[in-house]
Structure 1
Amino acid sequence: MKKLTINNGTVVLVPVVPAGFAIGVVIRADGKGRAVGAFFGPRVNSASDVNASELQLESAVLVCRFGDHGLHTKRWPMIGVIPSWGSAPWHVTKFSRRHDNPDLCYVTEYDESLNVISEVVLPAAEGKALPDEAQYGSGVVEAKLAKLLQ
């Protein structure tokens, strides 16, 4: 069986209950199961409802690290690519997670291959606007999007 290649800039449909799909963009995939994506609403019914050229990172309802199982099983159909894909507007961002001290947080930065390049402890307020550092399974991404797109 041929291994599925997931290219940066790939646009996917993510099923959300009770019906429809969220739109996703694979910002980076390392080919080893790790990916970073941006996900958008409102819900759509099919690929024909998606205009990839209108998607912008700033309008994502969710940016997260995720496992690529949904892509490999084709539960998340790949429907195209962002026109004129370039990494500049679709950068791998920094992520934050809780520290034992509620006044602090960890901020982790990844390189383009999704390897950690730095981790620092900062005041919690500085990490508040950053996405959560956890890596979600594809089912968790679906559940989060279903809640966000109610």
Structure 2
Amino acid sequence: MKLPYEEGSVFAMPLPNGGFARGVVARMPRNGKVLLGYFFGPHLEARGEATLDDLHPDLAVARIRFGDLGLIEGRWLILGNIPSWNRADWPFPDFVRRDPISRKAWLVRYVNDDPLRSVSELLSNYEDLQLLDSDGLFGAGAAEARISKLLLAQLH
């Protein structure tokens, strides 16, 4: 089955309280399923407001690993591709896994080509990793809720 997306695809993700956010598929294994995406504000009222030429990895509100069901079902609409897509410009970030009870944190790194395969988990100082995105795997609905929350926080 041909997937409806590829690396560099830009999509409009519906948000739980209305409107849309943009996402970019930055990594995907050959058969899809679990992807690495960069997600962007601002909150858009309509898909037609989405542009492709102002997306830069440093401006992402989040980088997350997520399931592709929203894209497969067509709820997340493919808008096009990043002009002059260059995978090296969209690196696979480090993530952090935190245990707030023990106040321990692990720096988690993944194989550059596979968002499912971690290559290392290093115990680190809990406070040192505050700026990293949390390690986790989001389903479509959880990703929508997470990005919506982050975009609302930007407004305040």
Normalized against structure 2, the TM-score is what? 0.86
* CA shift for structure 1 position 33: 1.2
Take 1:141 and 1:63, find their aligned partners in 2: how far apart are those partners? 10
Q: Which residue of 1 aligns with 2:64?
A: 64
**Distance in 1 between the 2:149 and 2:102 partners?**
29
Preserved contact between residue 6 and residue 29 of structure 1 (Cα < 8 Å): no
Q: Percent identity?
A: 33
Match of 2:84 in 1: 84
> Runs of at least 4 residues of structure 1 off by over 4 A?
none
**Where do 5+ consecutive residues of structure 2 fail to align?**
none
Does 2:142 match 1:140? yes
Where does residue 25 of structure 2 map in the other structure? 26
Aligned equivalents of 2:113 and 2:4: distance in 1?
15
TM-score by length of 1: 0.89
- Name the amino acid aligned to 1:17: P
| Secondary structure, aligned partner of 2:133 | coil
2:55 is matched with 55
Give how far 1:5 is off. 4.6
The residue matched to 1:147 in structure 2 has which SS? helix
Count of residues paired in the alignment: 148
| Aligned Cα root-mean-square deviation (Å) | 1.6
1:123 aligned residue (125, 142, 145):
125
| Aligned equivalents of 2:50, 2:148: Cα separation in 1 | 18
Counterpart Cα distance in 2 of 1:87 and 1:117: 20
Q: For structure 1, which segment, 37-46 or 13-22, has the greater mean C-alpha deviation from structure 2 after superposition?
A: 37-46
Name stretches of at least 5 consecutive residues in structure 1 with no aligned partner.
none
The superposition leaves residues 113-148 of structure 1 with CA deviations (integer Å, 9 ceiling, x where unpaired) of: 222122111111222111111101110011112222
